[in-house]
Amino acid sequence: MEPYFIVYTREGCGYCEKAVELLNEKQEPYVTTDLTKNTELLQQVQTIFSHETTPIVVRVDQNNSNLNLVGGFSELDIYFNTASEEEEEEEVEEAAPENSEDDETQEQE
C-alpha cells in the first residue's frame, strides 16, 4: 500500500477545507475523519499528536506502521513546497554536466 494522509477535521473549519483541497491538487491519497461530534476522540487525537488545532494532518507510511504528524494546513503546505524544491534541486543536479579536469584548470586561471 502506498503512503497516504489522514486529515482530522471539524465542521466549519476553513483550514481543514484548504488542507483537503491541497491534497486533491497534489493528487495525494488521503482519508478524512470529521471529529465535530466526537469531542472526546478529538481531544485524544490532539493529545497523541501534541497538536491543538484542526486540521491535524498525519502521514501514514507504506507499511501502515508509522504515523507521522505533518501538522495543520500551513505545515502541509510547507511539506509540499519543501518536497517540490528538493525534487527541483535533484533534477538540476542530474542535468548539470560533470566538470572535467580541463574545466577545473580553466576555472583556477
Please tell me the predicted confidence (pLDDT) of residue 28: 96
Each residue's pLDDT expressed in tens, for the chain with a length of 109 residues? 789 999 999 999 999 999 999 999 999 999 999 999 999 999 999 999 999 999 999 999 988 889 999 999 999 999 998 866 655 566 556 655 555 455 544 455 4
Tell me, yes or no, whether 16 lies in a domain. yes
Tell me, yes or no, whether 28 lies in a domain. yes
Please tell me the predicted confidence (pLDDT) of residue 100: 47
C-alpha cell at 84: 517540490
Tell me, yes or no, whether 104 lies in a domain. no
Count of other CB atoms within 10 angstroms of residue 42: 19
Angle value at C-alpha 42, between 26 and 80, nearest 5 degrees: 20
Count of other CB atoms within 10 angstroms of residue 5: 23
Residue 72: which residues within 8 A CB-CB, separation 6 or more?
Answer: 15, 19, 51, 53, 54, 55, 56, 57
Please tell me the predicted confidence (pLDDT) of residue 96: 54
- Please give the Cα distance from 97 to 89 (Å, whole number): 14
**Location of C-alpha cell 519543501:** 82
Count of other CB atoms within 10 angstroms of residue 29: 11
Range of the domain at 15: 4-95
Burial class (CB in 10 A: 0-12, 13-18, 19+), 91: exposed
Instruction: Supply the CATH number for residue 68's domain.
Output: 3.40.30.10
| Residue type present at position 48 | I
Tell me, yes or no, whether 38 lies in a domain. yes
- Number of domains observed in the structure of the chain: 1
Please tell me the predicted confidence (pLDDT) of residue 105: 46
Global pTM value: 0.75
